[in-house]
Amino acid sequence: MPLVETYAPGTFCWADLGTPDAAAATRFYTSLFAWTADQRPMGPDDFYTMFHLDGRPVAALYRQEAAQHGPPHWLSYISVDSASDAALRTKGLGGALLMEPFDVLDVGRMAMVQDPTGAVVALWEPRRHAGAGVVGETGSMCWNELATSDMARAGAFYGGLLGWSAERRATGALEYATFTAEGEARGGMTAIAPTGGPVPSHWLVYFAVRDCDGAATLAQSLGGAVRVPPSEIPDIGRFAVLADPQGAVFAVIALPVAEGHGRGGSG
């Protein structure tokens, strides 16, 4: 299992879910991914629920208040050397600072930013908590992908903020690019199709599974929905886009054995 102790700056390191029904969401994800849940108190009758896989943290959720940044959603985190410095760069690059940098107890420092096309992502300066303890393995985060209304503008923003290069590749009718830094893939980027309706720019988190079709069927049986049915990505794997019972959207992908999608892991 690819265990992780530290993350290079500019690498996706964590994901958490804001949901109005933490108990129901916990039941859904522990059943879907065989995660265990550990509630960490945040205040009176409020918890940050850490999900674990074989004893290693893989993701989390918290109860979302009605006024907290829109509908239920998964938020992707990118590791940075300094959340404060990255926040300043965000403003200079035309992005918006949704949450000023702040300390999260003694575990890290974070900020929440919005790129110029509208997608939201968190910046994480690690202290005691580097991020997920395992990636690229069945039941863990394995890829993060930006769907954007303007690939050129988004590419310039993340290049300036994180030093990423956007390498476009031919995928038929679909416009796609891979963000890279220091020769390593960091994430993906795709254009929102005009025929897709009024979809806002957003980051999508992928979790690795052994059986994409089985995961989609299980998600439906647990009260979730299939937004994009299981489909093949040539030379990559089989994926589906799902929604949990509260409406938060995420993706699952079955990767080829001993290969990875950006992080070298497989499910």
Residue 40: pLDDT band by 50, 70, 90 thresholds?
confident
Mean pLDDT of 165-183: 87
Query: What order of strands is seen across the sheet that includes strand 36-43?
Result: 36-43, 46-53, 56-63, 12-19, 73-79, 120-126, 108-114, 96-104
For the ranges 14-28, 59-73, 211-225, 249-263, the lowest mean pLDDT is seen at 249-263
Domains detected in the chain: 12-126 (3.10.180.10), 141-254 (3.10.180.10)
For the cut 60, the answer to whether the pLDDT of residue 33 exceeds it is yes
Q: What is the pLDDT of residues 201-217, one digit of tens each?
A: 999 999 999 999 999 99
180: alpha, beta or left? (left if phi > 0; alpha if psi -120 to 50): beta
Name the nearest CA neighbour of 239 among 200, 199, 266, 209.
Answer: 209
**pLDDT attached to residue 67:** 53
* Amino acid identity at 206: Y
Q: What is the pLDDT of residues 3-12, one digit of tens each?
A: 799 999 999 9
Give dist(CA 262, CA 103) in Å, integer: 29
Q: What is the pLDDT of residues 50-92, one digit of tens each?
A: 999 999 999 999 998 755 557 899 999 999 999 999 999 999 9
- Neighbouring CB atoms inside 10 A of 28's CB total 22
The more confident residue out of 31 and 47 is 31
Q: Count Cβ neighbours within 10 Å for each residue of 45-78 and write b for 16 or more, e otherwise.
A: eebbbbbbbeebbbbbbbbbeeeeeeebbbbbbb
Residue 148: pLDDT band by 50, 70, 90 thresholds?
very high
**pLDDT attached to residue 212:** 98
**pLDDT attached to residue 264:** 31
In sequence order, what DSSP letters do the residues of 78-133 get, joined into one string? EE-S-HHHHHHHHHHTT-EEEEEEEEETTTEEEEEEE-TTS-EEEEEEESS--S-S
Task: Give percent of the chain with pLDDT exceeding 70.
Answer: 91
Residue 194: pLDDT band by 50, 70, 90 thresholds?
confident
Q: What is the pLDDT of residues 223-243, one digit of tens each?
A: 999 999 999 988 889 999 999
Residue 263: pLDDT band by 50, 70, 90 thresholds?
very low
Residue 48's DSSP bridge partners are: 40, 62
Q: What is the pLDDT of residues 116-125, one digit of tens each?
A: 999 999 999 9
Name the nearest CA neighbour of 93 among 120, 113, 77, 109.
Answer: 113
Torsions phi, psi for 199 (to 5 deg): -95, 125
* Amino acid identity at 5: E
**pLDDT attached to residue 174:** 79
Residue 253's DSSP bridge partners are: 208, 239
Give dist(CA 236, CA 213) in Å, integer: 16
Residue 171: pLDDT band by 50, 70, 90 thresholds?
low
Name the nearest CA neighbour of 40 among 143, 142, 128.
Answer: 128
**pLDDT attached to residue 89:** 97
Please state, rounded to an integer, the average pLDDT across all residues of the chain. Answer: 91
In sequence order, what DSSP letters do the residues of 223-248 get, joined into one string? T-EEEEEEEEETTTEEEEEEE-TT--
Mean pLDDT of 97-102: 96
For the cut 90, the answer to whether the pLDDT of residue 94 exceeds it is yes
Torsions phi, psi for 78 (to 5 deg): -115, 130
Q: Give the β-pairing of 202-208 and 249-254.
A: parallel
Whether the full predicted model's pTM is greater than 0.85, yes or no, is yes
Give dist(CA 25, CA 16) in Å, integer: 12
Mean pLDDT of 179-207: 91
